[in-house]
Amino acid sequence: MNKLISFTEKFSISGIHSIKLRNLLELRAIEDETKQIKTMFPPIEIGSITLVDQIILLSLIELVRPDRILEIGTYQGYSTRLFVENSDAVEILTIDLPPLASIVNTEVDVEKVLYDGEYNDDYLRSVQNTTGAKYLNDLSPVDIDRVTLIKSDSTKLDFSDQIGPVQFAFIDGGHSYDIVKQDTANVTSQIKLGVVVWHDYASSIHSDVTRFLEEYSKSNQIFYIKGGLCAFQIINNQND
């Protein structure tokens, strides 16, 4: 964590700073250079996470070494599993909306899914409603005990009471401006020292994530890793 903090001190305290993945990899400890990671081939479905973004997330987790990880947006559980299998976190909390009572429209406009952010979110919710967190199905009993699945609207949770302190957070739930703003406020309120990562920055579909972060960065230091869809912030409120 100290290396990450020292690295960010080279940049102005506000704005969005574009860096290379190499910049993160260079911060890794010598003893971690031969460390192996465990992952699956990146899924090809809409709403999946690329290998580049996986490496970004795992690099940050390695630098932070969190005891508790929070994810907003479980979807099919791919990134949840990534955190379980590549961290020593005691608990991984992951939040997603409760199952839909029924799916009214079963016909999908594939082209609209690819350009309409709101329609994309509705589509992903219907997929999650059908498949569930399928990537968690064959985890060992020991690993599944580390996962806390929370079925709730993240914007309506009392984070201080129902979530508590975390050191690493991944925001990839609802992508509208208001939801991202509320999720960010809730997450950052529970981090004294750690990292928050947003997915879908610079996305052609979920432009509200970019719009929010551009506004948020006017008074906060944000880093965007080129070639991916992840942006992150170091939270250091130890003296508050």
DSSP 3-state of 229 = coil
Rounded to a whole number of angstroms, the CA Rg of the chain reads 17
- Chain segment 45-57, per-residue pLDDT in tens: 777 899 999 999 9
Q: Is the model's pLDDT at 165 over the cut of 90?
A: yes
| Stronger pLDDT, 159 or 41, i.e. the higher one | 159
| pLDDT at residue number 139 | 95
Q: Where are the chain's structural domains?
A: 2-236
Residue 201: pLDDT above 90? yes
| Percent of the chain residues topping a pLDDT of 90 | 74
- Between 187 and 104, whose confidence is greater? 187
Q: Is the pLDDT of residue 100 over 80?
A: no
Provide mean pLDDT across the span 139-157. 96
Q: What is the CATH class of 2-236?
A: alpha beta
Q: Which pLDDT does position 10 carry in this prediction?
A: 93
- What pLDDT sits at residue 120? 79
Residue 234 has pLDDT above 80, yes or no: yes
H or E element that contains 110: helix 110-113
Q: Is the predicted pLDDT of residue 26 greater than 70, yes or no?
A: yes
- In which residue are the tokens 């880093």 written? 223
Is residue 109 scored above 80 in pLDDT? no
For a pLDDT cut of 70, what percent of the chain falls above it?
96
The answer, yes or no, to whether residue 175 has pLDDT greater than 80, is yes
Q: Residue 93: pLDDT above 80?
A: yes
Band of the pLDDT at 105, cuts 50, 70, 90? low
Contact 17, 7 (CB under 8 A): no
Over residues 209-238, mean pLDDT: 96
Better pLDDT: 187 or 206: 187
Mean per-residue pLDDT of the chain: 91
Q: Which residues pair with 156 in a beta bridge?
A: none
The pTM for the full model equals: 0.93
User: Are 173 and 179 spatial neighbours (Cβ–Cβ below 8 Å)?
Assistant: yes
**Gap between the Cα atoms of 200 and 114, Å rounded:** 13
| CA 38-80-86 angle, 5° bins | 30
Is pLDDT of 196 > 70?
yes
Burial of 50 (0-12, 13-18, 19+ CB in 10 A): middle
DSSP character string of 167-219: SEEEE-S--SHHHHHHHHHHHHTT-SEEEEEEE-TT-SS-HHHHHHHHHHTTS
Q: What is the model's pLDDT at position 74?
A: 95
Of 90-94, 117-121, 230-234, the one with minimum mean pLDDT is 117-121
Please give the average per-residue pLDDT across 172-201, as a whole number.
96
**Residue 44: pLDDT above 80?**
no
